[in-house]
């Protein structure tokens, strides 16, 4: 199974659902549709209405983040996994570099993963090195640390997906070379095998579009993509899927 996951970040109002309706109608007719799943993560404000609309359709709605507590608590603006699940979210991103940059610690991330899984959300756990770490050849060490500090064997690996997003590649148009990327993805899968015995799916994210996907698709170890900028346009998002299976 391959995954095409869109991350809208701080984008979208109710009528932006038209973007997803177009993606859904492409998906429903695509001869390759059995091979992949489409998941979109709009902002909190749109999850309930979009999840309702797509309830019996093929697009899954997820969240971009969740609070590190289980149900209800006195945290202003907190949104818990329980609350997300109750409005129809099926997935949540956790550990996106935007949120790590705003202070998400490994302990906070561990609690987010734990409570998301407890509330039947599938977790897309994001990891990635920054520019300086890459320059100092620290990529593999950094990624191993990010994985082992948060993920535990007792977590159900069937409900976890890992997304490798080099921070220097997000929104920049810069991408790793094919060799770098296949080495890194294999490394991540080996670390995950040590934690879980079997590796969950590992996605790539960072400047994925209809052009760069031509390079990424040659690396068979990549199980799918986390797509930022290009997920805000139905055409760009569909082009990624079309070019991947071409
Ligand atoms: P990008 O973002 O596709 O715009 O590079 C990816 C992400 O931040 O998830």
Per residue in 230-240, pLDDT (tens digit) is 999 999 999 99
Cα 209 to ligand 1 centroid, rounded to whole Å: 10
Has residue 121 got a pLDDT over 90? Answer: yes
Closest C-alpha to 39, from 26, 20, 52: 20
The mean per-residue pLDDT over the stretch 73-83 comes to 97
Cα(36) to centroid of ligand 1, in Å? 19
Determine the Cα–Cα distance for residues 16 and 88; give it in Å rounded to an integer.
18
Instruction: Supply the pLDDT for residue 20.
Output: 98
Residue 11 has pLDDT above 90, yes or no: yes
pLDDT exceeds 90 at position 133:
yes
187 is catalytic: no
Confidence category of residue 57, pLDDT binned at 50, 70, 90: confident
User: Could you tell me the pLDDT band of residue 102, with boundaries at 50, 70 and 90?
Assistant: very high
Residue that the structure tokens 């492409």 belong to: 26
Q: Is the CB of 6 under 6 A from ligand 1?
A: no
The domains located in the chain, with CATH, are 2-245 (3.20.20.70)
pLDDT for the residue 228: 98
- The model's confidence at residue 33, banded by pLDDT at 50, 70 and 90, is very high
Which member of 129, 165, 187, 221 is catalytic? Answer: 165
Contact between 12 and 42 under an 8 Å Cβ cutoff? The reply is yes
Q: Is the dihedral of CA 93, 97, 103, 106 positive or negative?
A: positive
- Tokens of residue 72, six digits: 């209800």
Q: Residue 225: phi, psi to the nearest 5?
A: -140, 145
Residue 48 among the catalytic residues: no
Residue keyed to tokens 């071409």: 246
Q: CB of 239 within 8 A of CB of 209?
A: yes
Write the burial class of residue 30 (CB in 10 Å: 0-12 exposed, 13-18 middle, 19+ buried). Answer: middle
Cα-to-centroid distance, 52 and ligand 1 (Å):
26
């Amino acid at each position: 199974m391959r995954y095409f996951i869109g991350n809208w970040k701080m984008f979208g109002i109710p009528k932006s659902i038209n973007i997803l309706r177009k993606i859904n109608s492409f998906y429903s007719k695509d001869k390759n549709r059995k091979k992949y799943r489409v998941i979109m993560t709009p902002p909190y404000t749109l999850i309930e209405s979009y999840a309702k609309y797509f309830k019996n359709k093929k697009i899954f709605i997820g969240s971009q983040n969740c609070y590190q507590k289980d149900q209800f608590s006195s945290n202003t603006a907190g949104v818990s996994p329980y609350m997300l699940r109750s409005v129809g979210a099926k997935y949540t991103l956790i550990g996106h570099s935007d949120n790590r940059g705003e202070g998400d610690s490994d302990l906070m991330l561990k609690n987010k993963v734990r409570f998301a899984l407890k509330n039947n959300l599938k977790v897309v756990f994001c990891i990635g090195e920054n520019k300086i770490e890459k320059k100092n050849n620290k990529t593999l060490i950094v990624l191993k640390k990010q994985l082992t500090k948060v993920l535990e064997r007792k977590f159900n690996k069937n409900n976890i997906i890992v997304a490798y997003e080099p921070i220097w590649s997000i929104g920049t148009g810069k991408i790793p070379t094919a060799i770098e990327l296949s080495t890194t993805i294999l490394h991540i899968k080996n670390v995950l095998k040590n934690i879980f015995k079997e590796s969950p799916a590992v996605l790539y994210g960072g400047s994925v579009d209809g052009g760069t996907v031509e390079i990424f698709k040659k690396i068979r170890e990549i199980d799918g993509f986390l797509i930022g900028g290009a997920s805000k346009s139905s055409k760009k998002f569909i082009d990624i899927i079309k070019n991947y299976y071409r």
